[in-house]
Amino acid sequence: MPRIEFYVLPSSTDEGRLRAACQLAAKAWRQGLGVFLRGEHDDQCAELDELLWRFKAESFVPHARLTDDDTAPVLIGSDTPPAGFGSGLLINLNTRLPMDIDRYSRVIEIVNQSPALLAACRENFRQYRQRGYDPQRVEL
């Protein structure tokens, strides 16, 4: 059963949320984990792709859009990664729960203070509990 955490940011900006996702992806990759960044839609996935190139000038995170290359250690997409992806980290920026939660060893949902996102994430928290998971809240 995966460890599920809700990382709560004090701001309400989308950029802060995406930057946090990039930082978490970089850290997990350096620890040897495969990472799937699950975006809400193609525009958000493109923004994540661009941000991973520039969010830290002194480091590089090998990544790719799922539609371009499904073998990179950090994948970005709005669907499910390929079967060979393994059991790494899912950073879920999508407002819906993933269908394949149990394939990951860890799931992180990043929450900011946007009212619509807060409502969606509260619902996800309830759904995780209803499905038997024990989601944890982490204040950043």
DSSP annotation of 98 = P
The predicted-structure confidence for 16-55, as pLDDT tens digits, reads as follows 999 999 999 999 999 999 999 999 999 999 999 999 998 8
> Which of residues 23 and 57 earns the better pLDDT score?
23
Percent residues over pLDDT 70 in the chain: 99
Give the pLDDT of residue 59.
77
Integer Cα distance of 47 and 120 in angstroms: 21
Phi and psi (nearest 5°) for 65?
A: -70, 140
Query: Is there a contact between 47 and 80 (Cβ–Cβ < 8 Å)?
Result: no
Report CA-CA distances (Å) from 51 to 40, 57, 128: 16, 11, 29
Give the pLDDT of residue 80.
78
